């Protein structure tokens, strides 16, 4: 087997990972950032699972007449990672909901603009206090 065709699983994983990475750093919407994180996450899953594949192997459940099994270890790691992933995504969503309640927006730029406004107003209202001390 020559080089490139056997590596396409890695390329798929990298492509998806970069797609997720792009969403996280380039898009302003927090919910969409979470979707991007999800993409990133699944790309890692695909990478691990494709690593555990053995050519001609079968699912790692003992059965008669089968001698070659795929590697069960990555499966275990990813199985738990998926469920942990949904739990952490839920924490992220909860944070987004609270941010929306506090700022009325889930766009990163709106939130930063509001923060800057608030700081400016504070500084105008009380010019003597040192802003670094109370934040």
Partner 1 sequence: MLIALAAIRLQDLFAVVMLFGVYSFMTATLFMDLDAVDVAFTEAAVGAGVTTVLMLSSLRLTSRWEQRPKHSPLVPLIVVGITGAALIYGTLDAPLLGDPNAPVHQHVAPRYIEQGPIEVGMPNMVTAVLASYRGYDTFGETVVIFTAGLAVLLLLGIQESPETKPGRTAIGDHQLVLRVVVKVLIPLILLYALYVQFHGDYGAGGGFQAGVIFATGFVLYDLVFGEGDARMVVPPRWLHRLAALGVLIYGGVGVISLLAGKAFLDYSVLAHDPVHGQHLGVLLVELGVGITVFAVILAIFYALSGRRRVS
Closest to partner 1 by CB, 58 vs 114, is 58
Beta bridge partners of 105: none
Residue 31 three-state SS: helix
Q: Is 8 in the site for partner 1 (CB under 8 A)?
A: yes
Sign of the CA dihedral with 26 first, then 30, 32, and 38 last? positive
Question: Taking the complex as a whole, how short is the minimal distance between the CB of residue 46 and partner 1, in angstroms?
Answer: 7
What part of residues 16-55 is at the interface with partner 1 (CB under 8 A)?
16-23, 25-29, 31-32, 34-36, 38-39, 42, 45-46, 49-55
DSSP class per residue in 13-39? HHHHHHHHHHHHHH--BHHHHHHHHHH
d(CA 56, CA 67): 10
Question: Taking the complex as a whole, how short is the minimal distance between the CB of residue 135 and partner 1, in angstroms?
Answer: 22
Question: Taking the complex as a whole, how short is the minimal distance between the CB of residue 125 and partner 1, in angstroms?
Answer: 26
What part of residues 64-103 is at the interface with partner 1 (CB under 8 A)?
68-91, 93-98, 100-101
């Amino acid at each position: 087997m020559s080089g490139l065709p056997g590596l396409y699983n890695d390329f798929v994983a990298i492509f998806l990972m970069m797609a997720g990475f792009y969403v996280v750093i380039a898009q302003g919407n927090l919910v969409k950032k979470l979707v991007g994180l999800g993409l990133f996450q699944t790309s890692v899953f695909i990478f691990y699972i494709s690593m555990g594949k053995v050519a001609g192997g079968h699912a790692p459940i003992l059965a008669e007449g089968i001698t070659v099994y795929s590697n069960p270890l990555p499966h275990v790691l990813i199985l738990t990672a998926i469920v942990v992933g949904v739990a952490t995504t839920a924490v992220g969503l909860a944070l987004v909901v609270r941010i929306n309640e506090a700022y009325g927006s889930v766009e990163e730029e709106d939130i930063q603009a509001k923060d800057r406004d608030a700081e400016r107003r504070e500084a105008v209202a009380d010019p003597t206090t040192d802003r670094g001390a109370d934040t």
